[in-house]
Amino acid sequence: MMETKEILKGRSKHRSTFAVMFYINRTKTKKDGMCQLLCRVTIDTSVAQIGTKIMVDPSVWDGKAGRATGKSKNAVTVNRAIDKLAGEINAHYRELRASLGFVTAELVKNALKGICKKQTTLMKLFQEHNDEFQKRVGVDRVQATLGHYVRTYELLKIFLREKYDTEDVTLRSLSLAFIDAFDLFLRQDRLMAQHTVSGHLINLKKTVRRSVSQGTLIRDPFVTFVPEQPERKCRHLKAEELDRLMNVHIDSKSLRHTRDMFIFSTFTGLAYADLFNLSEEHLKTGVDGSLWIKINRQKTKTECNIRLLEIPCQIIGKYRPERTSRKIFNVKTLAAMCRHFRKIEKMCGIERITFHMARHNFGTHITLSQGVPIETVSRMMGHSSITTTQIYARITNTKVNEDMKNLSGNVNGKYSLYEDELMPVGIRNTDNFRLNDNTVNPFKTGRNYEKGKNRNKK
């Protein structure tokens, strides 16, 4: 049994042990009487066993020395293999220790076998991530998301050159100071908005976390960093803007088509990608004869179940003669639609229109403002969490006013307040109640009431 040991002292009092041992298992001999050469790597408390393809004649094996004895052909072959393997193990051990700052027996074994080679620098790790992501595009990933990661990679390259005068940095050197500096670089040097900055920082955090799952880093250097998230404002059209868009006269056929696709999405909540993919197989008839859209969202693969209202049914019928395939609509590219929206904006007097606003319109005007429960809205929009739906479905002041009117009808007259000489009486119609010089301000009643009590005491 051959064993090589190395005891390393660091700056701390911790002593790191590294041992390589070669042996054979005499109880597991082959039919020809030979035994497999085995290797055990021990680093501190971690142990890994490595099998080899080298066969040893048990009669020439010296268990104490961990080598074959004699000058037979088998003994010479075995000893050469042991020397080569021991050298490779030691080389991997030192390389891993230098690059990572720590080593485990499993890391050495994987490095020796060429399994899951770990990237030890940031840009190589990021490139590895993007290469693997590219292979999954069209399977369970989309091209647009890959584009975001590629852009983050390019910005990191610029950041490293300008701020650190280098092409790459080791993962061991990453710290909170690094991601803070990248954050400042995006804001100050690239003049990016908070939402864009947050997206790039999240991409960086996700990629570095990959090195932890691979075992390259013991802990995530950015674990305590939380990107500042701007308040997400709902991006729907105002009700009067939506009405103008739906009724404006448009001569151009292509512009009318773009407007109709936007309206269809407004009344169904479909995103552009799902509208583009919408085909006959996604249209289902309910038990009551109603028409439904049942489609898995391209982005999340979650199912959307949408009962069609009158307007989207009319739009489907309008464009049925133009179909050239099983797809419901011949949807133009998103870039072409954006160009059309610039012209439609001027026609309608609307400041800005984007296709995704239609999905926000559905969540706000078509569903929630009409009393549809948010759980139902979430199901129709294909969200896995109601929290996501809340971003799209914002309650408007008109909806709040209508709800409070209904509440007034249910509550008024059912409750009474104690009598007080300073309390205004006879107020029944709160809709017509206005504050003026001759009316007691309800928000100041408590203070006046206290003064009244003091006067009575005197």
Query: Are the C-beta atoms of residues 418 and 389 closer than 8 Å to each other?
Result: no
Q: How many domains does the chain have?
A: 4
Integer Rg of the chain from CA: 35
Listed residue (384, 381, 385, 350) closest to 368, CA to CA: 381
**Average pLDDT value for residue range 321-326:** 92
Please state, as a whole number, how many other Cβ atoms lie within 10 Å of the Cβ of residue 358: 26
**Average pLDDT value for residue range 332-350:** 95
Residue 284 forms part of a structural domain: yes
262 and 147 housed in the same domain = no
* 3 state SS of 109: helix
248 and 138 housed in the same domain = no
Q: Directed axis angle between helix 176-184 and helix 143-159, to 10°?
A: 100
106 and 134 housed in the same domain = no
Residues 6+ apart with CB under 8 A from 137: 143, 146
424 and 318 housed in the same domain = no
- 78-103 core/surface letters (b: 16 or more CB in 10 A; e: else): bbebbeebbeebeebbeebbebbeeb
In eight-state DSSP terms, residue 327 is B
Last-in-domain residue among 113, 132, 167: 113
Higher pLDDT, 3 or 168: 168
Residue 404 forms part of a structural domain: no
108 and 126 housed in the same domain = no
- Which domain covers residue 447, as residue numbers? 419-458
What residue has token string 């309008």?
A: 318
266 and 362 housed in the same domain = yes
- Per residue in 263-293, pLDDT tens? 999 999 999 999 999 999 999 998 999 999 9
Residue 75 forms part of a structural domain: yes
| pTM tops 0.85 | no
- What band does 424 get if pLDDT is binned at 50, 70 and 90? low
Residue 203 forms part of a structural domain: yes
CATH (domain of 368): 1.10.443.10
What secondary structure does DSSP assign to 133-144, as a single string? HHHHBTTTB-HH
274 and 392 housed in the same domain = yes
65 and 96 housed in the same domain = yes
- What band does 13 get if pLDDT is binned at 50, 70 and 90? very low
